[in-house]
Amino acid sequence: MTETLTGAQIAIRLLERQGVRTVAGIPGGAILPIYDALGQSTVIHHVLARHEQGAGFMAQGMARATGQPAVCMASSGPGATNLLTAIADAKLDSIPLVAITGQVPRAMIGTDAFQEVDTYGLSIPITKHNFLVNSAEELLEVIPRAFEIAASGRPGPVLVDIPKDVQMQAMEITDWPAPGTRQMPPPADALAISEAAGMINAAKRPILYLGGGVVHSGAASVAVDLANKANLPTVMTLMALGAMPVDHPLSLGMLGMHGARCTNLALDECDLLIAVGARFDDRATGKVAAFCAQAKIIHIDIDAAELDKIKNAHVGIAADVQEALERLLPLVSENARKIWVDRTDALKRDFPQHMPDLDQPLSHFGLIRSVAACLDDEAIIATDVGQHQMWVAQGYPLRRPRQWLTSGGLGTMGFGVPAAIGAALAEPLRTVVCFTGDGSILMNIQELVTAAEENVNVKIVLMDNASLGLVHQQQTLFYGERLFASQFKASPDFIKVAQGFGIAAVDLDTAANPCAALMEAIARPGPCLIHASIDVQQKVYPMVPPGAANRDMIGA
Amino acid sequence: MNAINRNEQRALARAVLEIDVNNHPGVMSHVIGLFSRRTYNVEGILCLPVGDGSCSRIWLLVNEDARLPQMMKQAEKLEDVIAVRRHHADHAVFSELEDFFRP
């Protein structure tokens, strides 16, 4: 059947054909034709964010919870610039995102027209790829391709900038392109796989080092199988938490700047590091020269540019990590590795993560564990960025890939609330908890009204120390206790703020029984803000001072 | 960064990169952006369409640097880059142009 459609209608039809059912965005002049077409769609639910950055993080929440590319939209100029932080965040954490922006009509591009900005140029360094669409016909190629690029290889954000006249251009269309889907990379090199297996079999003190790529590629279960078969003590990056259940006997938890002492000390002793979907980020390695200094390295990553970028690998394998691990598994021999496992068990016993006051629901770790006690592994745990994020990473019993949504690479305050809303939209049967701080929540507080409007099942646990906690901590430890610009002299009444935005709110500070109040708030469907004051003097410990070797941790 | 004088520049080892790309607006920004964000100076740039014009070839003259292998991998990752090849600095593509660059 031949239809005459506008570029805007074609764009929306292509999104429908991609299977997109929810998009987050904000309309504006240069994207109104697309919104007009979107309004006619019977299958796509549009979530109206209150700031484009919120829309970007909602899409991220959908993508992180499901693994599928998610879509956000904004108009030209400030709409597009407001999206940039969320796009950059997706780039650093390899999250598949398709951002669609309106642009001024082609004839006006380059004239400093109203709300014109060089969206294409601005987005080059923070996207995996970007497009400036020149005709309605081009959309037929560009939009499926955008989804294919976002989902294939190392996932990432793709921006599609569509001038308004292209949105309004009508054309006849008969045949539709196939939706863009994830393309698999070539299989892992057989020789390198067998060499890696030989190294694992010969190693006395190997450690498996899992990164976010394990979650992205769906390799968590085969990674755990490999660890079990060869008895590989396993560390995870911030992005990989949940890939192996934290209470698995071989789990050493999170490594790096705020990893437990036992984790970093075990890495110091290993003779083989098996890095899988990890990129040797500075927060994970500390001083690189001192990181696993005695170890040989096997590095498996889908992105060939990650191999030898920070540490030279003895065996580097550029491949999908799930495929590579599945091929590696039968070649690795069963091995009790008793001496090494006993050694890491002793380290875990002697140098565990210190979690004081677990029985106090209003202490930081006590609050995190009290929340966990109200939930099972089906829940999704999102965080903002700061001390609360690290405490949750250290203390929450994460047991499932895609259970954990956090801004790792870019470390964006303001990520948590909109990402949690996005996750709740994509996974409506799950409870979504967002741990946040009083600094972070104010960076996207406006999305509370979106949470109310969509009635999402999001529980926001606000750990309030009236300060920028990690800044406060670093000034205390490394800047001679000269606290500057890290303590808020005025704080809003967060209970009233939440209620003003139309969501329920509970203050654990004043609750007669904080545990009961928490449980009731989490059990009640719909959005809720749960406020708890915490002690500003509490630090995230242990801590590797910036630039130091991981063995030189300070604090507990 | 301190400016290095012309003689010092010449003393530095050079490399020539040959990069096949799709020919459309924005490709040059993608490629050059990889260098500028790392404060990695590009000493010379040449670009012309190849064949029917659907592809172009970019020639870059760059200083030898420990980061060069990583730069090439990053360039290879760009969607519009088809191939990256590395040559020695004595490649004819820049030396034959010297007549156009006399002070």
Best A309, A310, A312 member to test B by mutation, with max B CBs in 10 Å, is A309
A124 neighbourhood in chain B, CB within 8 Å: 26, 29-30, 33
pTM above 0.90, yes or no: yes
The reply to whether A120 touches chain B by the CB within 8 Å rule is: yes
User: Which residues touch A246 (CB under 8 Å, ≥6 apart)?
Assistant: A253, A397, A398, A399
The shortest CB-CB distance from B30 to any of A124, A132, A303 is to: A124
- Same domain for A422 and A323, yes or no, is no
Instruction: Look at residues A79, A59, A54 and name the one whose alpha carbon lies nearest to residue A501.
Output: A54
B76 neighbourhood in chain A, CB within 8 Å: 304-305
- Same domain for A50 and A163, yes or no, is yes
CA angle A66, A132, A178 (to 5 degrees): 50
* A304 to chain B: closest CA residue: B73
Phi, psi at A338, each rounded to 5°:
-65, -40
- Same domain for A335 and A407, yes or no, is no
Provide the sign of the torsion angle of the four alpha carbons A326, A319, A197, A210, taken in this order. Answer: negative
**For chain A, what is the domain count?**
3
Q: DSSP class of residue A126?
A: G
Instruction: Report which secondary-structure segment, H or E, holds A533.
Output: strand A528-533
CB contact under 8 A, B74 and A305: yes
Strands lying side by side in the sheet with A296-301: A251-254, A234-236, A206-210, A272-276, A296-301, A315-318
* A123 to chain B: closest CA residue: B30
Asked which of A113, A143, A173 is the last residue of a domain, the reply is A173
| Domain harbouring A231, CATH code | 3.40.50.1220
Q: Say if A538 falls within a structural domain.
A: no
Q: Say if A432 falls within a structural domain.
A: yes
Domains of chain B: 17-98 (3.30.70.260)
- Same domain for A212 and A143, yes or no, is no
CB contact under 8 A, B70 and A124: no
Phi, psi at A467, each rounded to 5°:
-160, 170
Q: Return the SS3 of A155.
A: coil
- Same domain for A246 and A332, yes or no, is yes
CB contact under 8 A, B76 and A304: yes
Q: Say if A443 falls within a structural domain.
A: yes
Q: Say if A185 falls within a structural domain.
A: no
CB contact under 8 A, B33 and A124: yes
For residues A27 and A78, the answer to whether their CB atoms sit within 8 Å is no
CB contact under 8 A, A303 and B77: yes
The reply to whether A5 touches chain B by the CB within 8 Å rule is: no
Which structural domain range is residue A434 located in?
364-533
User: Which residues touch A457 (CB under 8 Å, ≥6 apart)?
Assistant: A424, A428, A430, A431, A432, A525, A526, A527
In the stretch 67-86 of chain B, residues with CB closer than 8 A to chain A read 69-70, 73-74, 76-80
Our CA-based measurement puts residue B34 at a distance from the nearest CA of chain A, in whole angstroms, of 8
For residues A52 and A82, the answer to whether their CB atoms sit within 8 Å is yes
Instruction: Report which secondary-structure segment, H or E, holds A395.
Output: helix A387-395
Q: How many residues does chain B have?
A: 103
B26 neighbourhood in chain A, CB within 8 Å: 120-121, 124, 130, 132
Instruction: Look at residues A157, A218, A221, A555 and name the one whose alpha carbon lies nearest to residue A390.
Output: A555
| Domain harbouring A45, CATH code | 3.40.50.970
- Same domain for A374 and A323, yes or no, is no
Asked which of A307, A326, A350 is the last residue of a domain, the reply is A350
Best B39, B77, B81 member to test A by mutation, with max A CBs in 10 Å, is B77
Q: Give the pLDDT of chain A (556 residues) as one tens digit per residue.
A: 899 999 999 999 999 999 999 999 999 999 999 999 999 999 999 999 999 999 999 999 999 999 999 999 999 999 999 999 999 999 999 999 999 999 999 999 999 999 999 999 999 999 999 999 999 999 999 999 999 999 999 999 999 999 999 999 999 999 999 999 999 999 999 999 999 999 999 999 999 999 999 999 999 999 999 999 999 999 999 999 999 999 999 999 999 999 999 999 999 999 999 999 999 999 999 999 999 999 999 999 999 999 999 999 999 999 999 999 999 999 999 999 999 999 999 999 999 999 999 999 999 999 999 999 999 999 999 999 999 999 999 999 999 999 999 999 999 999 999 999 999 999 999 999 999 999 999 999 999 999 999 999 999 999 999 999 999 999 999 999 999 999 999 999 999 999 999 999 999 999 999 999 999 999 999 999 999 999 999 999 999 999 999 999 999 7
